[in-house]
């Protein structure tokens, strides 16, 4: 059981972390200045000092604002071919987010295949690529996995991968950037692959 | 009416009692009939629009009863046609008075609540249940014709006493209407009326009769529940029921059997690696697993000597064709492969097949059809959804959904405006059949 002052400290730390991850120091000061001016001098002056967009923490190795590609469990962790993996441990999952064995059958925590009410094995659910199938179907695009860059995360090399399309808008709804895409494509959303190589 | 049902008006105490009994019976029957009609209309137009309408009507009535809004209500300005008691024989006028008051709208309406109850009966969409609820209205009318006189021999004096307490009625009525608004407004959140029908899986429905499989002590049996008062029929061991009138198809260790479930007499059987029957007699669809392929077969058993068997679809064993559905001249099935899933429907009249839903991401599974509609389950990472579509419409409607991955929706059945679906929790091995009225 945590002491009340410990809980308070924890809450304050979480709040400061959120603030720090949501804004750079420059953007924070910019917003503060804008608020003060807005209160005293009016919106026209405040607009002149509006801060730039915050550089949000996304996931380890990615601090820019392009969002994650659609995926089953919230973080776009993929294997080397672009199929979904469980973010916590890299176990292969199907499109419903269930862990699967090497043949693609859904399994429980002990690795046994899941069964239907009559005792038969459950059928395999689809397992398709995050960029080429998930993103394209949900957003009506022709996206492909293209550019990549590398960062060190949790002691191993992480490959960050752009899902690139010809869309001028990215998954966030605003203008897309060229990033590491090529042939006229732009970054629509991002994914990552943990290589297992030490760094 | 208190003043009417007196020995003086009726002629004697015996005739008074007869008039009261006839009045009460007529009032209850008339209001029950009105409820049944409203419930039937509700079942035809769909419960959700009626439910929203009922909530709106209850809110308007609440405003009217609290004096915020002035609204006229459809009603007759008289209570009953007074002349009947002088012109008609007693059995006729007492029955007529009861029926007139029982249906409600042929008489004076002091409050608007009757119309809210009518809209609620419409929203219920179930004629029998609505009739039962509305019968209480008729019973209330009958009760009020006799109860005020229990200690007061004079009719007019009893009425005067009642009028003295009338100021309580609008306040109590406003409270009831406020409750009705809340209850009716939160009801549509479920999307449709969902009721658990208890343990079981793989439902099959035809009219009011529901069949399901159930696991008991390691053995799977099939239960056929006809409407009351007919008893439940049990077949064991049996699995994967399909129902068409008195005929029941199921799978067992030998293959597929078709029986007349009312007298348990065999109709036909197919021995072999056959499973998942769907029945629209004399048509039978089933899955044949020959090891190399899983095939969906449509058999025509109209000529027992020369049955025809036609392959409709086939997949490798790693893929799945699931449990087909056959009704109203349409055959539906799912196809789930590594790269996606789809729901297909074959129109048997013109042999045209089309994908009702196709996706590279989600798992579309376990369809059921009638001549007008199709329902199926869509599995997503966040939960499973019971979808419904009219043939000829592009719009897909969600009848219900379950959040999370631990419990999900599974096999379905469809009969009229009622869908049935299995709710399955693999970790606890618990499965129940849900009824979804839409």
Distance CA B221, CA B200 (A): 10
Record the tokens describing residue B100, joined without a space.
């007139």
Record the tokens describing residue B380, joined without a space.
């997503």
Distance CA A115, CA A112 (A): 9
Report pLDDT digits (tens) over B319-332: 999 999 999 999 99
The answer for A 29-68 residues in CB contact with B (under 8 A) is: none
SS3 B301: coil
Whether B202 contacts chain A with CB within 8 A: yes
Q: Could you tell me if A161 and A78 are in contact, meaning their C-beta atoms sit under 8 angstroms apart?
A: yes
CATH number of B193-437: 2.120.10.30
- Cα A60–Cα A65–Cα A71 angle in degrees, nearest 5: 65
Predicted pLDDT at A94: 96
Query: Which residue, among B206, B274, B120, has the nearest Cα to B413 in the 3D structure?
Result: B206
Distance CA B277, CA B264 (A): 18
Mutation for B interface: A70, A112, A126, most B CBs within 10 A? A126
Predicted pLDDT at B258: 94
- pLDDT beneath 70, residues of chain A: 1-58, 63-64
For B232, other C-beta atoms within 10 Å of its C-beta total 10
Going by DSSP bridges, is the β-strand pair B233-235/B219-225 parallel, antiparallel, or unpaired? antiparallel
Provide long-range contacts, Cβ within 8 A and 24+ apart, for B176-179. B176/B113, B177/B58, B177/B61, B177/B62, B177/B65, B177/B113, B177/B116, B178/B62
Going by DSSP bridges, is the β-strand pair B363-369/B373-380 parallel, antiparallel, or unpaired? antiparallel
Distance CA B332, CA B341 (A): 14
Distance CA A82, CA A135 (A): 12
Q: Are A108 and B410 inside 8 Å of each other by CB?
A: no
> Residue B413: phi, psi to the nearest 5?
-145, 155
Distance CA B369, CA B254 (A): 27
Q: Could you tell me if B26 and B99 are in contact, meaning their C-beta atoms sit under 8 angstroms apart?
A: yes
SS3 B150: coil
Give the ipTM: 0.70
* Among B220, B340, B379, beta carbon nearest to A118: B220
What residues does each domain of chain B span? 7-188, 193-437
- pLDDT beneath 70, residues of chain B: 1-3, 43-50, 74-79, 109-110, 148-156, 158-160, 162-166, 185-192
Tell me which chain B residues have a C-beta less than 8 angstroms from the C-beta of A114.
426
The answer for B 325-384 residues in CB contact with A (under 8 A) is: 336-341, 359-363, 365, 379-381
Distance CA A6, CA A3 (A): 5
Mutation for A interface: B203, B217, B222, B361, most A CBs within 10 A? B361
- Residue B220 pairs in a beta bridge with B215
Q: Are A97 and B381 inside 8 Å of each other by CB?
A: yes
Q: Which letter does DSSP use for residue A134 in this model?
A: I
Distance CA B138, CA B101 (A): 8
> What is the reported pTM?
0.65
Max CA-CA distance within chain A? 72
Tell me which chain B residues have a C-beta less than 8 angstroms from the C-beta of A119.
215, 220
* Among B220, B361, B365, beta carbon nearest to A128: B361
> Residue A148: phi, psi to the nearest 5?
-150, 155
Whether B167 contacts chain A with CB within 8 A: no
């Amino acid at each position: 059981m945590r002491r009340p002052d410990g809980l308070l400290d924890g809450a304050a730390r979480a709040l400061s972390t959120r603030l720090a991850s949501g804004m750079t120091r420059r953007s924070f000061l910019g917003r503060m200045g804008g608020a003060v001016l807005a209160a005293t001098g009016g919106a026209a002056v405040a607009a002149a000092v509006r801060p730039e967009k915050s550089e949000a923490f996304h996931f380890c190795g990615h601090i820019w604002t392009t969002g994650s590609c659609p995926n089953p469990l919230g973080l776009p962790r993929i294997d080397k071919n672009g199929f979904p993996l469980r973010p916590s441990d890299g176990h292969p999952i199907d499109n419903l987010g269930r862990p699967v064995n090497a043949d693609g059958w859904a399994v429980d925590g002990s690795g046994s295949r899941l069964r239907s009410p009559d005792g038969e094995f459950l059928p395999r659910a689809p397992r398709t690529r995050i960029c080429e199938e998930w993103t394209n179907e949900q957003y009506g695009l022709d996206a492909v996995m293209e550019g990549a860059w590398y960062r060190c995360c949790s002691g191993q090399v992480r490959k960050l991968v752009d899902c690139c399309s010809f869309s001028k808008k990215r998954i966030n709804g605003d203008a897309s950037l060229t990033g590491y895409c090529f042939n006229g494509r732009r970054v629509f959303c991002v994914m990552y692959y943990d290589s297992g190589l030490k760094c | 009416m208190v003043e009417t049902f007196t020995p003086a008006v009726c002629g004697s105490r015996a005739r008074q009692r007869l008039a009261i009994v006839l009045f009460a019976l007529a009032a209850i029957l008339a209001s029950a009939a009105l409820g049944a009609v409203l419930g039937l209309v509700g079942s035809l137009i769909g419960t959700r629009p009626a439910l929203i309408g009922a909530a709106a009507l209850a809110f308007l009535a609440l405003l009217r009863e609290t004096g915020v809004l002035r609204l006229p209500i459809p009603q007759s300005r008289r209570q009953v046609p007074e002349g009947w008691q002088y012109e008609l024989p007693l059995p006729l006028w007492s029955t007529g008075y009861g029926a007139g008051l029982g249906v409600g709208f042929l008489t004076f309406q002091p409050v608007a609540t009757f119309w809210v109850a009518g809209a609620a009966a419409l929203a219920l969409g179930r004629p029998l249940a609505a009739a039962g609820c509305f019968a209480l209205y008729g019973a209330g009318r009958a009760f009020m014709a006799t109860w005020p006189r229990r200690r007061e021999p004079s009719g007019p004096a009893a009425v005067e006493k009642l009028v003295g307490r009338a100021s309580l009625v609008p306040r109590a009525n406003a409270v009831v209407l406020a409750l009705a608004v809340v209850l009716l407004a939160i009801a549509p959140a479920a999307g449709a009326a969902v009721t658990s029908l208890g343990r079981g899986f793989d439902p099959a429905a035809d009219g009011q009769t529901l069949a399901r499989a159930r696991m008991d002590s390691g053995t799977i049996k099939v239960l056929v529940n006809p409407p009351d008062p007919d008893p439940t029929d049990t077949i064991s061991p049996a699995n994967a029921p399909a129902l068409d009138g008195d005929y029941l198809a199921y799978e067992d260790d030998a293959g597929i059997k078709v029986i007349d479930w009312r007298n348990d007499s065999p109709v036909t059987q197919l021995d072999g690696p056959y499973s998942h029957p769907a029945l629209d007699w004399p048509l039978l669809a089933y899955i044949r697993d020959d090891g190399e392929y899983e095939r969906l077969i449509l058999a025509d058993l109209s000529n027992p000597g020369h049955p025809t068997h036609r392959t409709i679809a086939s997949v490798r064993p790693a893929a799945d064709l699931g449990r087909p559905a056959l009704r109203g001249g349409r055959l539906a099935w799912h196809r789930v492969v590594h790269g996606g899933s789809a729901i297909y429907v074959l129109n048997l009249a013109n042999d045209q097949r089309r994908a009702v839903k196709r996706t590279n991401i989600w798992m579309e599974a376990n369809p059921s059809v009638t001549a007008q509609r199709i329902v199926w389950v869509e599995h997503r990472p966040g939960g499973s959804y019971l979808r419904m579509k009219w043939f000829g419409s592009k719009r897909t409607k969600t009848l219900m959904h379950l959040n999370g991955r631990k419990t999900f929706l599974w096999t379905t059945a469809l009969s009229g405006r009622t869908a049935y679906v299995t709710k399955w929790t693999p970790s606890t091995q618990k499965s129940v059949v849900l009824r979804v009225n839409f």
